[in-house]
Chains A and B, each alone.
Chain A
Amino acid sequence: MSTVELASPARSYLEEGYGLRSWLTTHDHKRIAVLYGIGITFFFFLGGLAAALIRWELVTPAGDLVSAETYNKAFTFHGVVMVWFFLIPSIPATLGNFLLPLMIGARDVAFPRLNLFSWYLYVVGGIFTLGCLLLGGVDTGWTFYTPFSTMFSNSHVLMAVVGVFIVGFSSIFTGLNFIVTVHTMRAPGMTWMRLPLFVWSMYAVALVMILATPVLAMTLSLIGLERLFGVGIFDPALGGDPVLFQHFFWFYSHPAVYIMILPAMGVVSELITHGARRRIFGYRFMVYAIIGIAVVGFLVWGHHMFVAGQSMYASIVFSILSFIIAVPSAIKVFNWTATLYKGDISFDAPMLYALGFVGLFMLGGLTGLFLAATALDVNLTDTYFVVAHFHYIMVGGAVMAYLGGIHYWWPKITGRLYSEAWARFAAILMFFGFNLTFFPQYILGWEGMPRRYHEYLPQFQVWNVLSSAGATILGVAYVLPLVYLAWSLRYGARAGANPWDATGLEWQTSSPPPPHNFEQVPVVHEGPYAYRR
């Protein structure tokens, strides 16, 4: 790629205007990314507080800290907030929004106003969710299973459902924007097979978002209809079918898992290639794997329902498809590992996060095989094994990648350098805290402890105490970046255009970039990750 070190950086996007108004009416994808960043950070720590309450309650077998109702509301709130207000928007709406146009050499996304609108939808959805919490919360679990959610729960189900419904549209609009942007706004020479893997992952995720999220919106509306007007859709007492709900719900929510993890894979591909200063091993296979995961991800929802009353044969089909989707994930792990081969590896904080991601993602992915195997799933489903499995993917995977990405692009976003020592320390602490929190939960699950239990049998206590201890460490590790990153905003050294000496168009403009990203439209001559050519 052409490298132009800018002599006199123009005014950056941060200096475009300083008032609140200039931010709340901005159409700049970079500013909108920052707005999203503030929103999801807020919700991450709020959801984290709910998790703290859960782990604190589970230190003892008796339900002695809070009432069962409060406990149920805590894990519901934790799930709803972390899934829809943190994980799903996390990488796409912040890093994706910020980087996608930069990485393809565009001045902005295709529909800047729609982009801002989707942030407002996110905020309105968030207000509903907070309102639901203030009114007294909801106790259905983030899965809203019927007929409990429609006819039996006495909590504020509708309020929560409306919040999620609204935030769903924000991700649909983000998806739409990304697809059109990638199709129409690539810089000259930026062919499809020269796209950085992060862009590929954003593109795939955008497809999943616009295809799956409408199903969620429809399902939530049906819950509303049944709960408000008693229209019989899911409650058998009204002539409905409760298992139908689960089909609808997982038809969205399984692809949603890939909405959370595909972007993480994209980020990690950027971090590892940079950390090892090496081209990605098997670029084409990596692209095919991304597409394969996005497509097959739509066909495996029934693996959540092996014991739900689904027919034996349907379960067999969903089982084999679930094994098949594990293949592209395995390919990715092997390719990341192979990228290290003959590299020139340095262990900056982003690389530590990326390596941590690969390890944790592998453990999460492999335990997925146990759950894909129908005969094993019978014992493991709805136990802590499942809880551990998806936290390895969502927290060990997605959150590690998100934080790795935030560190890597922090100089680009803010123009400042953070304290490398603290960042490495936090990354390592997080890795250990995470494993201590969630590894014991695999054991608990295999021993038969069901999930969503306010009280549990005394024989499970040891592992629960370990898990809660790990959660404490993890909590500290999450607060650290908040502190030193905030500190760097004021006291951090200024970053040049390309402090990492990285390839990629985003590093060819000043840090922070000017409002329209590039002084001149860049021209691309080769594929991504052209390190040590």
Chain B
Amino acid sequence: MTLPQASSFAPNVDHLFDTLLALCTLVVVGVFTVMIVFCVKYRRGTSAERTPARSHLGVELTWTLVPFVLFMGIFGWSVHLWIRLRTPPKDAQPIYVVAKQWMWKVQHPGGQREIDQLHVPVGQPIRLVMTSQDVIHSFYVPAFRVKQDVLPDRYTELWFTATQAGTYHLFCAEFCGTDHSRMRGEVVVMAPADYARWLQAHAGIGLAAQGAALFRRLGCSGCHDPQSGVHAPSLENLYGSTVPLSDGSQVLADERYLHDSILLPKKQVAAGYAPIMPSFEGRLGEEDVLALVAYLKTRGTQTEKPE
């Protein structure tokens, strides 16, 4: 039984793992051999030569510096991979995940919804935007070698490119209460054509369209539409731009920023505006917020086309 290598990271991660494993095996075998030889040769009663002990600075320095250099090598290699693991490419397709005790809810931009399943195509970078409705969970797909904690009230991201069609296990890796070990699911990786068919068959009202409806129903448009009399920022072209804040700092308007602007508007107030926007904390579920975020992203963006 070996773990499948089903993402573009998997072979790289395994390569590092195998190298480190080989190195460690070498050290273990080396030290054990030396220990055993000493234990046999210098066991009580043998006639081996035994001169008084002396410490050698050179020896000490050698076995301080050699491990240090090796460690730094492994560290560098690992950081190189790590930065890649943490930097999703611009063209990655976002899919939204909401975790709750004890299930995974997935929403695709086209309105497709799934529970404890995630369908993705081969070869397309996927970026998961994740949040939790209650406690901390962790999205873990061993076959992809990826894992990311999913936090309440905050977005975390995880990206991967699946390389092999098939069905892979999805686990919750952070202890989250009674049924933690049942918070499992599967990731179904499909050939692009199959995936397109799957999307078609499961299409619903697009996420952005749901968000647009919410935007009117919740009265956001009452302040944010250009025609409205309220002094509130236009949300055109907001996503992906840099927003100056009233405290003088700047922030990149990513999903997390949009999320927080809706639920915790007082946290970061846009420069030049009064902090009059009401908080929607407690009135909106994370899935509604995701729909709003998806909608705001379509109002002109630097990176993604409207759907």
Contact = CB atoms under 8 A, between A and B. Distances in A.
B156 to A, nearest CB: 5
Given A139-B177, A312-B86, A331 B145 contact: no
Given A345-B43, A375-B16, A376-B16, A324 B71 contact: yes
Interface in A287-341: 307-309, 312, 315-316, 319-320, 323-324, 326-327, 330-331, 333-335, 337-341
Contact of A374 (B67, B82, B171): B82
Interface residues of B, number: 78
A281 interface: yes
A398 B13 CA distance: 31
B277 interface: no
B49 to A, nearest CB: 7
A342 B32 contact: no
Contacts, number: 235
B117 to A, nearest CB: 16
Interface in B47-103: 48-53, 55, 59-60, 63-64, 67-68, 71-72, 74-75, 77-79, 81-83, 85-86, 101
A309 B79 contact: no
> Among B32, B149, B154, B282, which residue has the most Cβ atoms of chain A within 10 A?
B149
Contacts of A235: 152
Nearest to A455: B181
B146 A285 contact: no
Contacts of B178: 68-69, 72, 139
Interface in A515-530: none
A333 B31 contact: yes
Given A237-B153, A312-B86, A346-B43, A327 B28 contact: no
A450 interface: yes
Contacts of A343: 38, 42, 50
A148 B177 contact: yes
A307 B79 contact: no
Interface string A271-296: 00000101101111100000000000
B216 interface: no
A342 B31 contact: no
B39 A345 contact: yes
A145 B174 contact: yes
Given A63-B181, A378-B145, A452-B175, A236 B153 contact: yes
Contacts of A243: 151
Contacts of A281: 53, 55
Contact of A153 (B59, B156, B177): B177
Given A68-B178, A446-B3, A359 B32 contact: yes
A-B CB proximity, top 4 nearest = A448-B142, A236-B153, A375-B81, A373-B78
12 contacts: A63-B181, A145-B174, A148-B135, A281-B55, A307-B147, A309-B149, A316-B79, A319-B78, A355-B35, A375-B85, A376-B13, A452-B180
